[in-house]
Amino acid sequence: MFLDPLYIIMILPALLLAIYAQIRVKAAFGRYSRMATTTGLTGAMAARKILNAFGLHDVAVEVSGGWLSDHYDPGKRVLRLSSPVHKFGNVLC
C-alpha cells in the first residue's frame, strides 16, 4: 500500500498537537487533584450545587469508571463524574 508523504506532512503536526494537549491536561489534573478545596465539597456535591443553582434538579449526578472520563449524557440527563472527582474533596473547584 502506498502512503503519500504529503499525507504524513499534513497529519503529523495535528497528531503532535493532540499528544501535547493530552499531556498538559493530565499534568494539570494531576497537579490540582492534590489540592484540597476550600469548601471541603466533593465533586458530586459541587456539581449538585451548580445544577440546583441553575434549576436543573432533574439532572442526576453519577460516578463513572475511568480517569478523566467526566461527561454529560444528554439522552439520559445524567452528569457522570470519574471516581476521583466524584468521591473526594480534592477536585477542581
Look at residue 36 and tell me if it is in a domain: yes
Task: Please check whether residue 56 lies inside any domain of the structure.
Answer: yes
The phi-psi region of residue 77 (left if phi > 0; otherwise alpha if psi is between -120 and 50; otherwise beta) is left
Q: Is residue 92 part of a domain?
A: no
pTM value?
Answer: 0.69
Q: What is the 3-state secondary structure (H, E, C) of the chain?
A: CCCCHHHHHHHHHHHHHHHHHHHHHHHHHHHHCCCCCCCCCCHHHHHHHHHHHCCCCCCEEEEECCCCCCEEECCCCEEEEEHHHHHCCCCCC
Question: Do residues 91 and 43 make contact, with C-beta atoms less than 8 angstroms apart?
Answer: yes
Give the per-residue pLDDT at 33: 78
- Is 41 part of any domain? yes
Q: Would you place residue 74 in the very low, low, confident or very high pLDDT band (cuts 50, 70, 90)?
A: very high
Does a structural domain hold residue 76?
A: yes
- Asked, for residue 37, whether it belongs to a domain, the answer is yes
Give the HSE-up count for residue 51: Cα atoms under 13 Å, Cβ half-sphere: 17
Question: How confident is residue 38, by pLDDT bands cut at 50, 70 and 90?
Answer: confident
Is 48 inside a domain boundary?
yes
The label of the residue with cell 445544577 reads 51
| Total of domains in the chain | 1
> For position 92, what pLDDT does the model report?
45
| Domain membership flag for residue 93 | no
Q: Residue 42: which domain range?
A: 5-87
Bridge partners of 62, per DSSP, are 80
